[in-house]
Structure 1
Amino acid sequence: MFFQWNHCPNAKASGFLEQHARLHVKCLAHDFEVEVISEDCDYREVCDRFEPDLALFEAGYRTHGSTRPRITGTDAHPGIPKIALHNGDPWCDRRAGLLADMDGWGIETVFAIGTATPGYTPSLAGRCFVWPNFIDPAVFRDYGLEKVVPVTLTGQVYGLYPWRQAVHELLTERYVCLVTPPFRYEDAAARRMLAGGAYARALNASWLSPSCGTMGHELVRKHLEIPGAGCLLVTERIPVLEAAGFLDGVNCVFADPPKLVDKVDALLAEPDRMREIIAAGHALVHARHTLAHRPQIRQWFDLSRNLKDGARIVQEDVFGPLRVATAEEGMVGLRLPTTGLDRAALRRAEQCLARGRVDEARAAFEAALDYVAYLPEARFGLARCDLAQGRVTAALARLSALIATTLKDYGAARPDPVEWAYYLAALLAAGHREAAIGLRSAYPELDHAELRLMRAALDRLADRPVGPWSVAARPATSLHALPARTPEMHSAWLVAIQSLNGQPPSGGRRGTRLHLRWQGLAALDRALRRLPGGVIRPRVPPAPGFGYLAELRDAVGRWLLPPLVRRRLRALAAQAAEITRNGPRIRRSRS
């Protein structure tokens, strides 16, 4: 049973993305009988109806016009194994939502389409397996078309694709090229994108097409679609492509930008040699990378049913089979290195922060954002730099924006625990003592070592401590891995950031206008929490920087709109019937 997002609710979602969503179902159907659920539902009722052997939940998707189904009652039927599918980039800012979903649904295991995902989210170590991209061989095949296009260039060209940026200009200045517009996936215009059979035929009529693994050195679909359609793949040398079986000059061409033109000139001068490489690339993809070669989810299901105590399921090769490892084998896992350019920038930033070189850390975090403007680790890192440099207003803005992405844009039930702990600390550093104290009891089910330290500090400041806080059997998973701190180290840090931002260690004055406003929002939120189903309670917390009242207005609008629309439609239908009976003399209202 596949709980998949609704990827075709309106004209905003591109046909390209819809095709890939359908392809996931087609691949699963190779190994399972698949029932797809894409609407709001009750898990217990659906399981009672279909009696599934396995429940798969799509999560962490970055919207693009698709809608996320609301699934309730996921604690029912504990005997049915549940796994998540991260259908998103390894660096996606919806990963915090993925982690929240997994915690809320009681899911331990996740499969990711990104080969770099395990390295990008270390908190999932040992629980994340890769279900790599693949092609449908019925679409991406050799159509036998004449090669009439020297070079075909498709896809977006910006900071996420540094190699593609470098070669795009080199190729378009020197060769006849078929160049498609760089459509954004979430734009309605993306429906004009070459996709499916039309895209495959364009590739089949082309001699070569370049693609890169993004700044994250990831296996993307183009790496497989280009050779799968009988076109020469020109790309950069990265570990995942070598793991996939690609060899320079044998079944593809690896080229650094400075040497690209010379390599392409030599290839175009030898069409027979090009045909040999094209044929070898086509054979590789159709022998190893079609939907028939992605049984990892079925392998996990079969292995998990007979797993003995102490044993675990491991994946050592992103394209190879899963197997059972015993406790005696020690640490066994993916051998693929994490070589993403953004990860290198983040490592430099963390090293600088640890040594107190905050300006250098800031520059490195900003360098990571040059690749992906919404990269959550870099945005969180800049908030930490802000706190360390007395820029608490900027820190609050960054942290509230991060949390709103998870709660509002994605729709998760809780924020990232480390981001929430730092938001409370930033409130304290900004002098919003009462707001920080009041919000310490928000998300009471959320447990994390960093959040425990922050709550304990706020308990000490409060007139009526709420603690001691209970410790969950399994603390919530965070996107951010920080060095462990003792309570004394945490207290010293809080004093330091308050002092840097001009606040006394007590956390600021009480009785301010902001405090009174926050008290009103908190009282309103408590009242809305008591309403059945929480249908009009905003997803964001009643705290500074989240636009709580605006969110409440929108929630009320969504709740009231359907009845109003139904009443208006009934009125229009009655008016139309009156016109039919009495002719056009009836004056229609302006609305």
Structure 2
Amino acid sequence: MSSISTGPKPKLVFFQWDHTPNAGAAKFLLLHMQDHVKCLSQSFDVTVVNEDCDFAEVCDRIQPDIALFESGYRTHGSRRIDIRNVHADSSIPKIGLHNGDPWCDRRAGFLSDMEHWGVETFFAICTMTPAYTPEAAGHFFAWPNFIDPTIFHDYGIDKTVPVMLAGQSYCLYPWRQKVYPLLAGNYPSLICPQFKYESRAAQRMFVGEAYARALNASKVVPTCGTMGKEVVRKHFEIPAAMSCLLTERTPGLEMAGFVDGENCIFVDGEDVLDRLDHLFSHPEELERITRAGHDLVHARHTLAHRPQMREWYELSRQLRPGQRIVQENPFEPLRIADAAHAPQRPLAITALDRLDIARGDAALSRGDVVAARGHYDTALTYVTYLPEARLRLAICDLLEGKAQAALDRASDLVGTTTIDYGAADPDPAEWAFVLVSMICLGRLADAERLVGWYPALKGGELGYVRAALDRLAGRPVTAPDEAPFTRASVHALPHLGFSEWLERLAHCAAAAGQDEIARALREQAAPVGGEKRRLKVRGYTGIERALRVVGLGTVLPNVPPLPEFAFLPRLGRSTARTVLRSRFGQPLNRLRQRLIALRENASRDGRQHRTSV
């Protein structure tokens, strides 16, 4: 039974990033953003706000029933908008949209945005996001990928292409790395070049109808869901355009209704040639599977089949005490369940990077740092920016006495979230290990000064760090609360009690040559003497204070004034952006709007010309 009521559509205001077309991003990414709006419009009366704004003013003007905030996107030329006064109206339900990969290094920025905006319910375009971020899994619902049936359908084109190879096939896609060369070397194939999403060459890619027609002309098209076993758009686009889907078996695809030999072909790479030889010699079987895949997608996976946000909106108004909204399957409707017995069933972790992270954690728990490091390095071969592997390598550095290397790694992670992404504060676990690294370097004054640098970050190991600094300074120490971080971390590190954590910190300090600190941590000895501050650090701090005194604090980057955070280069870039924005911001915005209008007019004239012809 549907939870969606009849009658007028609720008003939804969608605070979407500025995805204005530009020469530096692939066109298909822009189409995805437009598809999101088109899909939401099936269930809501949608108003898109994609420029810097005041939340209260927007709500006064639009009078929305619900607000949706896009967050966590990994740029590709798009701009994160600035939204002020988000707490101005607490009566409007707020939900977040994580528009990114499950493993993305912008997840910490997403969680920071959600906390600072007071958003507690999240939707993710990827089915594996809750499993990748288990500390926040209870807040996530899936809003899975889908197709626009006006673009992806059967055009009736003669199938002259046996195999079409499209999409990336670098280390993130190990299944494709195995299968694509086999197919290209054994069957006549249409091979689409692989372009970086941000390159100008990406403008040459098949997109939209041209891409759908190329699929429609092909008999078989392979794809996979990356090393993360995700359900990607190609899984739906290929069968929707009446081509046979050749892919890797994953739990998500089976939940979506795909069955080997019935509406798709599952292969592990070793059997791909045998399976295709059989299908090409039995064209009636290939046609049957292709038709069934087409029917499945058009019956269950178009933009008309993604009402999850509308379901949540309707159900949230029916909730009674002791109840919650659940989603047992990414492709099934949401429903209300008893909170005490509500099922929490994120998809099982079969992702290759997660398996390597788990192996590394097991090795670390045995004290085998070398083996652990090897597993974390292997995880980075799939995604070079994977934050979980990078932070765990910092832990390995600490255990091996390489405190400066650990500080550099953790500081870089903090900069990714606060500078590159623009969040108000970093992941709490990453910030905790910045401070731990400073303690192991003997930089106690820096750690004391920075422990409260991001006031919203509390709990977890940050409480342990405060207690350790109290002990090192000879202050009374109360055993810290062993509750988790007040904000979910993307890292889900194994929990340590305070005593065990303190012993590990002492071990790391000793390994780094800080014997006095290690002894004080273990024995509650006399306070450790203050270290001599480096002249360079004092200079950074002086610059930061001087800029605040003269009223130029707005140009300061959102990281501490320390060399590990590349403070001076980031200050230079921030100052340049501020100057350019103040002097040329309005003219450049007018020019951009003019270029957009010209592009739209040219596109409209082209459509009219094709119609008249």
TM-score, structure 1 as length reference: 0.91
Tell me, yes or no, if structure 1 residue 228 matches structure 2 residue 245.
Answer: no
Residue 462 of structure 1 and its aligned partner are, at CA, apart by: 4.4
Shift of 1:170: 0.3
Q: One-letter code of the match for 2:252?
A: V
**1:441 Cα deviation (Å)?**
2.3
Within 5 A, what are the aligned runs for 1:35-74?
35-74=47-86
1:94-109 mapped onto 2 (5 Å cutoff): 94-109=106-121
Equivalent pairs, count: 567
Q: Which amino acid letter does the alignment assign opposite residue 538 of structure 1?
A: P
Q: Which residue of 2 aligns with 1:476?
A: 487
Change (3 A) 1:194 1:567: closer
Give the aligned partner of residue 219 of structure 1. Answer: 231
The residue type paired with residue 560 of structure 2 is P
The one of 507, 521, 532 equivalent to 1:512 is 532
Tell me the amino acid that sits aligned with residue 356 of structure 1: G
Per the alignment, do residues 456 and 511 of structure 1 end up closer, same or farther by CA in structure 2, a change over 3 Å counting?
closer
Secondary structure at 2:270 match in 1: helix
Equivalence for 1:364: 375
Name the structure 2 match of 1:89.
101
- 1:410 — aligned with what? 421
Greater CA deviation, 171-180 or 547-556?
Answer: 547-556
**Any residues of structure 2 matched to 1:30-429 within 5 Å, and which?**
30-328=42-340, 330-334=341-345, 336-429=347-440
Please report how far the alpha carbon of residue 265 of structure 1 lies from its aligned counterpart in structure 2 after TM superposition.
1.0
Q: Shift of residue 432 of structure 1?
A: 2.0
Which whole-Å CA distance do the structure 2 matches of 1:187 and 1:512 have between them?
48
Contact 2:112 2:426 in 1 (8 A): yes
Q: 1:118 to 1:568 in 2, by over 3 A?
A: closer
Contact 1:16 1:196 in 2 (8 A): yes
Corresponding residue of 1:501 = 512
| 1:158-205 deviation digits (Å, cap 9, x = unpaired) | 111111110011001011111111111122221211111000000000
The one-letter code sitting in structure 2 at the alignment partner of 1:436 is: A
Q: 1:298 to 1:471 in 2, by over 3 A?
A: farther
- 1:459-496 deviation line (CA, Å, top 9, x unaligned): 34348999999999981221122233333323222211
SS at match of 2:580: helix
Give the deviation of 1:445 after TM superposition.
2.4
Indicate the residue corresponding to 1:443 in structure 2.
454
- Deviation at 1:222? 0.5
1:461 to 469, 472, 483: 472
- 8 Å Cα contact 2:53-2:82 kept in structure 1: yes
* Whole-angstrom distance in 2 between the partners of 1:118 and 1:108: 14
**What SS does the corresponding residue of 1:34 show, helix, strand or coil?**
strand
Q: Aligned residue for 1:546?
A: 565
In the alignment, the residues of structure 2 paired with residue 120 and residue 434 of structure 1 have an alpha-carbon distance, to the nearest angstrom, of 36
Q: Which amino acid aligns with 1:248?
A: D
CA distance in 1, matches of 2:481, 2:349: 36
Q: Percent identity?
A: 52
527 and 533 in structure 1: CA distance in 2 versus 1, 3 angstrom threshold: closer
Q: Tell me if structure 1 keeps the 8 A contact 2:397–2:405.
A: yes
Conserved? CA contact 1:217–1:339, under 8 Å: yes
Secondary structure at the aligned position of 2:101 is classed as coil
* Cα RMSD for the two superposed structures: 2.5
My pick for the range that moved more, 482-491 or 186-195, is 482-491
List runs of 5+ in structure 2 lacking aligned partners.
1-12, 519-527, 589-613
Change (3 A) 1:22 1:469: farther
Contact 2:442 2:531 in 1 (8 A): no
CA contact (8 A) 2:222 2:247 kept: yes
Q: Closer, same or farther in 2 for the Cα pair 1:353/1:199, shift >3 Å?
A: same
Q: Confirm or deny: 8 A CA contact 1:459 1:467 kept in the other structure.
A: no
Q: Distance in 2 between matches of 1:10 and 1:85?
A: 23
3-state SS of 2:51 partner: coil
Q: Is the 8 A contact 1:142 1:204 kept in 2?
A: yes
User: What amino acid does structure 1 have at the position aligned with 2:532?
Assistant: T
The structural deviation recorded for 1:254 is 0.9
Change (3 A) 1:305 1:534: farther
Contact 2:230 2:252 in 1 (8 A): yes
Which sits farther off after the overlay, 438-447 or 232-241?
Answer: 438-447
* 3-state SS in 2 of match to 1:164: helix
Q: For residues 237-273 of structure 1, what are the alpha-carbon distances to aligned partners after superposition, in whole Å with 9 as ceiling and x for unaligned?
A: 1111111111111111111211100111111112222
Q: Separation in 1 of the partners of 2:451 and 2:584?
A: 40
- Deviation by residue 1:507-548 (Cα, 9 ceiling, x = unmatched): 88745352x433443344355457779531212221231111
Distance 1:104 1:335, change over 3 A: closer
Q: Partner residue of 1:561?
A: 580
Q: Distance in 2 between matches of 1:48 and 1:533?
A: 32
User: Cα distance, 1:88 vs. partner?
Assistant: 0.6
Distance in 2 between residues matched to 1:364 and 1:209, nearest whole Å: 33
Change in CA separation of 1:539 and 1:146 when aligned onto 2, cut-off 3 Å: same
Query: How far apart are the structure 2 equivalents of 1:534 and 1:44?
Result: 26
Would you say the 8 A contact 2:460–2:483 is kept in 1? no
Relative to 1, partners in 2 of residues 1:513 and 1:75: Cα closer, same or farther, differing over 3 Å? Answer: same
Residue 125 of structure 1, CA deviation: 2.3
The alpha-carbon deviation at position 568 of structure 1 amounts to 12
Equivalent-residue separation in structure 2 for 1:520 and 1:465 (angstroms):
32
Aligned partners of 1:348 and 1:364 also within 8 Å: yes
- 1:409: how far off? 0.8
Q: TM-score, normalised by structure 2?
A: 0.88
Q: Does the 8 Å contact 2:480/2:498 carry over to 1?
A: no
Q: Name the amino acid aligned to 1:512.
A: K
Match of 2:605 in 1: none
